[in-house]
Amino acid sequence: MRYLLTFSYDGTLFFGYQKQNGKRSVQEEVESVLSKINNEKTVISASGRTDRGVHALNQKAHFDSPKTFDLDRLRHSMNKMLPPDIFIKNIENVSDTFHARFDVVKKEYVYKINVGEYNPLDRNYVYQYNWKLDVDKMRDAIKYFVGTHNFKSVTKTITEEKDYVRTIYDASIEFDNNIITITFSGSGFMRYMVRNMVGLLIAVGESKIEPSDISSILDKENRIFAKKTAPSEGLYLKNVYY
């Protein structure tokens, strides 16, 4: 049978979601627990990977097992065995043809920036920019990301992508109590894509570039024209939709 996990994690002490030799990863922790419960090696397939220091509110992953589980008991058992920076929120049965990555129709990411006084308690969860940004200009700029574009300019310099075209369905900025919250929902996101888009928005907020420059930077399809990558700690995978 195939099962779908919904889980959250604090990315601070992980070297990313994906398994890496000799380094702590979310995938390895979850697979280790499932393998013990299944009494055999169990592999999970996630909706996508997150980088070192990035958090997830609702990551999704599926796994196969010949066993039929009581889902509430399985969830309880997994949470008892998992470290405290991972939490299984839900487990459900899905069809054998379902795939947690390839069946995704939309993903939603959130990025948080503190423009007020430095807060050491939030340093791993909100980017401590701690300086004023022009939020109105950033709101004008974010509109240029919406729609279907080639996003090669805002991806990792060296990637394995063959197609850099993605669709951003919605993008917004909220500002409250010195915290800027930036939300993107789209058909898919490549490595560093959200953090590089945020980097451009910060450059707009600093008045280093104008909002309309976003369009021309995307048209160049070259990472060299984009600005700095925003730090990982402010980024959250908020939701995955099927």
User: What single string gives the DSSP state of each residue in the chain?
Assistant: -EEEEEEEE-GGGSS-SS-BTTB--HHHHHHHHHHHHHTS----EES----TT-EEEEEEEEEE-SSPP-HHHHHHHHHHHS-TTEEEEEEEEE-TT--TTTT--EEEEEEEEE-SS--GGGTTTSEE--S---HHHHHHHHGGGSEEEE-GGGS-SS---S--EEEEEEEEEEEETTEEEEEEEES---TTHHHHHHHHHHHHHTTSS-TTHHHHHHHHT-GGGS-PPPPGGGEEEEEEE-
Number of structural domains found in the chain = 2
The CATH number for 136's domain is 3.30.70.660
Q: What is the mean pLDDT of residues 146-174?
A: 91
Q: For the segment 10-29, what is each residue's pLDDT rounded down to a tens digit?
A: 999 999 999 999 999 999 99
In a domain, 100, yes or no: no
pLDDT averaged over every residue in the chain: 96
Pair 218, 121 in one domain: yes
pLDDT given at position 156: 83
Q: What is the pTM of this model?
A: 0.95
The yes-or-no answer on residue 51 being catalytic is: yes
At 66, which CATH number?
Answer: 3.30.70.580
Residue 159: pLDDT over 70: no
Asked if residue 125 and residue 75 are part of one domain, the reply reads no
Q: Which domain holds residue 154?
A: 106-241
Percent of the chain whose pLDDT exceeds 90: 95
Please tell me which residue in 10, 51, 122, 213 is annotated as part of the active site.
51
Question: Which pLDDT belongs to residue 162?
Answer: 81
